[in-house]
Amino acid sequence: MNVQGRCHCGAIQYEAEVEAGSIGICHCADCQMLTGSAFRANIPAPAEHFRLLSGMPRKYVKTGDSGVERVHAFCENCGTPVYSCAVDSPTVYSLRVGALAQRYELGRPLREIWTKRKLEWIDAFKCADECEGQP
């Protein structure tokens, strides 16, 4: 599926090919801090199908507890997180779902990682499809 993304102010715009239904959620402490929220929702995009259309994101290299470094790209104007990837020769870009125009068509997350850091109140919002407000 072709997707288009942009930062909040529009300075950075991009497109990519992703597989609908491949969203993942990360509950690690770093993702909580980097989003200012309870978790981060990502969808993988192969590097050969990711293209910046305008702007150049600012990049922050984060070193995880494992010692692995990851680039976290964001708009230096508005602060919108755009993607993360390997420092050298990325093969996949982990796109931030909230910055994609097609976020409502991508389906539900298939997997969650670092669930030991998951905030206990997150599960309070789980309900069946017939719950009020569910698409």
**Sorting pLDDT into bands at 50, 70 and 90, what band is 133?**
low
Average pLDDT, the chain: 87
pLDDT in tens, 20-56: 989 999 888 887 778 888 788 999 999 999 999 999 9
69, pLDDT greater than 50: yes
pLDDT at 95: 97
How distant, in Å, are the alpha carbons of 2, 61, 63, 94, 97 from that of 86?
22, 9, 11, 10, 18
Q: Cβ neighbours of residue 62 under 8 Å, at least 6 residues apart?
A: 30, 34, 69, 70, 72
pLDDT at 128: 46
- E strands in the chain: 2-6, 13-17, 24-26, 40-46, 50-54, 58-63, 69-74, 81-86, 92-96, 111-113
Provide the residue ranges of all domains of the chain, joining segments of one domain with +: 2-120
Q: What is the pTM of this model?
A: 0.82
The H-assigned helical ranges of the chain are 29-35
The domain over range 2-120 is classified in CATH as 3.40.1800.10? no
Q: Cβ neighbours of residue 51 under 8 Å, at least 6 residues apart?
A: 14, 15, 16
